[in-house]
Amino acid sequence: MDAALLKLLRSVDTPTVCNGIEVAQGKRGFNDFTRGTMLCSAPDEPAVVGYACTAKIAAVNPPSEPADVIRARRMQYYKNMAEAPKPSVAVVEDTDYPRAIGAYWGEVNTTIHKGFGMCGTLTNGVMRDLGDMADGYPVIAGSIGPSHGFVHVQELDCDVEIFGLKVRPGDLVHADRHGAVVIPADVIPKIAAAIKKMQDTEHLILGPARQGDFDFEKFQAAWAAFEAART
């Protein structure tokens, strides 16, 4: 991904990307986005954009494996995150969901992952330390809670599911306060042009609607042009 595309994707919200994907594909029915309401630690920050580095965690029950196995896997987890191709996003499924209690994402882990050069986190799990999380490292999470429980890493470099969105290692993720989307690989080269086309199309209705003399007659004319141009 070149710098211009990355800059563009970070400047637009996730609904814009969803619309852009439909324009690029020439149809509706795109399905690779989250369902339900997610929480964003930094809703005014730019969107989180990067390639997924994935893992699974759990926290309700203590781990059943030996402590040295758990520690080795955790160290490998951090190594994977540190060495993930940039830009990168930590996409971590909490397998306790929807009864997740382990706040894996707080001051310590956001600071570590930001230090690794990652852009942010997408998780169905829990976050905490809302006033102390690393600046410039948004977390889009399933809930907020006070404790980390028995949090431990279960799997690495695996397919995960976050609020109905299936994410594979290396998928290009776009996430913000609206939720998240995976941009299909074949759409990536087309997404910039598709977003511009979508924004130009929306201006056909938004431009007139923002004028002081807007009325139903002008709406009808603008809507006809809008419908003719949109996907």
What's the pLDDT at 29? 87
Q: Residue 8 domain-assigned? A: no
Cα separation of 209 and 66, whole Å?
Answer: 64
Q: Residue 208 domain-assigned? A: yes
- Mean pLDDT for the stretch of residues 120-135: 98
Residue 94: give its domain's CATH number: 3.50.30.40
Total number of domains in the chain: 2
Q: Residue 22 domain-assigned? A: no
Q: Are residues 207 and 108 in the same domain?
A: no
Q: Are residues 43 and 138 in the same domain?
A: yes
Residue-range definition of the domain harbouring residue 200: 190-229
Q: Residue 150 domain-assigned? A: yes
- Mean pLDDT for the stretch of residues 13-37: 95
pLDDT of residue 60 exceeding 90, the answer is yes
Q: Are residues 176 and 221 in the same domain?
A: no
Q: Residue 13 domain-assigned? A: no
pLDDT, tens only, 166-218: 999 999 999 999 999 999 999 999 999 999 999 999 999 999 999 999 999 99
User: The pTM is what?
Assistant: 0.95
Cα atoms in the Cβ-side hemisphere of radius 13 Å centred on 112? 15
Q: Are residues 61 and 172 in the same domain?
A: yes
pLDDT of residue 104 exceeding 80, the answer is yes
Confidence of residue 231 (pLDDT cuts 50, 70, 90): low
For residue 128, give the nearest of 146, 109, 110 by alpha carbon.
Answer: 146
Q: Residue 82 domain-assigned? A: yes
Tracing tokens 């619309």 back to the chain, one arrives at: 19
Q: Are residues 56 and 118 in the same domain?
A: yes
For residue 111, give the nearest of 133, 90, 96 by alpha carbon.
Answer: 133
pLDDT, tens only, 61-102: 999 999 999 999 999 999 999 999 999 999 999 999 999 999
